[in-house]
């Protein structure tokens, strides 16, 4: 299905019936990352997956895709579907968007799942890395995408998940380059939303990979304590859905998504 925001197409899919679950993909990903999960969730839920602006089949909304702008796009999809209460699971950057959504529409969120994600904003060093990433992306997008995707997997999983890595790369190569740059700019300036996570009084979960190359597990442990959020630690890197499907499914049962 397609929703137009200021004339820009935003693609989303709806499956199943029951309480609503919104699934938001991460950076350099699209709604296809949930292809294995959706049929399972759709047995008892209305499952909505969205291609966030500038990713998948969706167009770009602006030069900078702030988390607020992306959360507003998600709100417009939810409104179009007439949903008033949702459970949201966001992978990495999708988690940043989920938190921005929760900050703006707290009464609409029943459950928040940050999958390989965090509420903590970028450090100065990470911001500098974002600038470097933007420069490489503008000069040689294929090099940037080709290097970034394997680095999401735990080092010892990169060979075993070669096929998945190639599929993800192929998908990301087709995204509009200005969309990728707009996301990098938006993530760089996103604010720390740890207070949003702490304040949120619905069900809330963090899922982290013990070998995540992006987020340190000890930081996740601290965040879990300070924000009073239940933490699941699983083997593997940043791509739990690929790298540890069996544990991921167990968690989905535990949190009553399945
Ligand atoms: C993602 O997977 O969405 C990104 O790695 C998040 C980030 O770069 O902060």
User: What is the whole-number distance in angstroms between the Cα of residue 17 and the centre of ligand 1?
Assistant: 30
Model confidence band, residue 18 (pLDDT cutoffs 50, 70, 90): very high
Average pLDDT over residues 143-151: 98
Residues 38-76: tens digit of each pLDDT:
999 999 999 999 999 999 999 999 999 999 999 999 999
Average pLDDT, the chain: 98
Q: Mean per-residue pLDDT for 226-244?
A: 98
Structure tokens at 176: 């509009």
Report the separation in Å between the CA atom of 249 and the middle of ligand 1, taken as the mean of its atom positions: 22
- pLDDT confidence bin for 24, thresholds 50/70/90: very high
187 lines ligand 1 (CB under 6 A): yes
Write the CA distances from 92 to 27, 42, 115, 226, 244, integer angstroms.
7, 22, 6, 19, 16
Domain parsing of the chain, residue ranges: 2-254
Q: For residue 143, give Cα distances in angstroms to 139, 146, 245.
A: 9, 5, 28
Distances (CA, A) of 141 to 121, 172, 187: 25, 10, 18
pLDDT at residue 47 in the model: 98
pLDDT of residue 76: 98
Average pLDDT over residues 102-119: 98
- Could you tell me the distance, in angstroms and rounded to a whole number, from the CA of residue 131 to the centre of ligand 1? 14
Domain at 2-254: CATH architecture: 3-Layer(aba) Sandwich (3.40)
CB 152 within 8 A of CB 27: no
Give whole-number Cα distances, 174 to 55, 57, 58, 170, 198, in Å.
9, 9, 11, 7, 37
Note whether 34 and 91 are within 8 A (CB).
Answer: no
**Cβ of residue 74 lying under 6 Å from some atom of ligand 1:** no
């Amino acid at each position: 299905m397609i929703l137009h925001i200021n004339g820009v197409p935003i693609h989303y899919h709806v499956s199943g019936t029951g309480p609503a679950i919104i699934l938001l993909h991460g950076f350099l990903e699209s709604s296809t990352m949930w292809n294995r999960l959706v049929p399972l969730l759709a047995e008892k839920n209305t499952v909505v997956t969205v291609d966030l602006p500038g990713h998948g089949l969706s167009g770009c909304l602006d030069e900078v895709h702030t988390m607020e702008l992306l959360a507003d796009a998600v709100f417009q999809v939810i409104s179009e579907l007439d949903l008033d209460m949702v459970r949201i699971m966001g992978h990495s950057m999708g988690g940043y968007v989920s938190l921005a959504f929760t900050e703006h529409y707290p009464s609409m969120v029943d459950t928040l799942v940050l999958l390989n994600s965090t509420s903590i904003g970028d450090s100065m060093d990470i911001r500098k890395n974002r600038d470097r990433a933007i420069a490489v992306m503008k000069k040689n997008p294929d090099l940037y995408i080709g290097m970034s995707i394997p680095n999401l997997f735990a080092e010892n999983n990169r060979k075993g998940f070669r096929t998945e890595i190639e599929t993800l790369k192929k998908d990301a190569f087709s995204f509009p380059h200005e969309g990728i740059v707009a996301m990098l700019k938006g993530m760089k300036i996103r604010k720390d939303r740890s207070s949003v996570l702490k304040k949120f009084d619905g069900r809330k979960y963090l899922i982290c990979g013990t070998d995540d190359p992006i987020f340190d597990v000890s930081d996740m442990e601290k965040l879990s304590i300070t924000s009073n959020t239940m933490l699941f630690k699983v083997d593997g890197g940043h791509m739990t859905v690929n790298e540890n499907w069996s544990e991921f499914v167990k968690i989905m049962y535990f949190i009553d998504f399945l």
